[in-house]
A and B are shown apart, each in its own frame.
Chain A
Amino acid sequence: EAGVTQFPSHSVIEKGQTVTLRCDPISGHDNLYWYRRVMGKEIKFLLHFVKESKQDESGMPNNRFLAERTGGTYSTLKVQPAELEDSGVYFCASSLGGDASNSPLHFGNGTRLTVT
């Protein structure tokens, strides 16, 4: 079974540019999450999809961030325009569904975003 895959693994962009991160969850996983970790800080929740619907986007920092999951398969997270404070590692995770108790998160390896 293929795991959660994220692309690119690294991205270096200048302030003001646009970057799009992609996540392919484990096949059959309805739940898809985006998290971000800024250096040394906690892994912070950004948003949660159930299939193609946004279940919870309370962690999205501001309207420069846009996440989509068309067709309920892969997801993209676009940052436009990027700011210096957006730098960090962006993790995608997926889970089968149902409650947290029977469906632990499976993480991808993350995209390290550096905004200069």
Chain B
Amino acid sequence: DQQVKQNSPSLSVQEGRISILNCDYTNSMFDYFLWYKKYPAEGPTFLISISSIKDKNEDGRFTVFLNKSAKHLSLHIVPSQPGDSAVYFCAASVWTGNQFYFGTGTSLTVIP
């Protein structure tokens, strides 16, 4: 049973515009959330994280928003660049835990 869901398998965005990637989770025990970025033939690399005590975390062009009541988080990329084209995975964990649960990924294409 999947506990982390990414319902959009793909997304295309024009360069310079905003990319919004969405993620839903079912386990209310999760209190730490991460986004990973993956290029073809490479492993996922850590991008940004957020704990449940916050509702927003920003790092340069990347911002993650958390809505605990809706069990929903999103990753905003502004402005989008062609180099952002990759598969983005949402992941969740318990703050004091060591197991990470991943979604199915969203393939982002930024069109020049």
Contacts and interface: CB of A to CB of B under 8 A. Distances in A.
A110 B43 contact: yes
A93 B97 contact: no
A100 B43 contact: no
Interface size grouping (class) on chain B: 20 to 34
Contacts of B93: 100-101
Q: Is the interface of B mostly helix, strand, loop or mixed?
A: loop
Given A91-B43, A105-B46, A40 B51 contact: no
Contact of A106 (B34, B42, B46, B98): B46
A22 B99 CA distance: 21
Contact of B102 (A44, A95, A100, A104): A44
Most chain A CB atoms below 10 A, which of B32, B44, B46, B95: B44
Interface of B: 2, 4, 9, 32, 34, 36, 41-46, 49, 51, 89, 91, 93-105
Interface of A: 4, 9, 31, 33, 35, 40-45, 48, 50, 55-56, 91, 93, 95, 99-101, 104-110
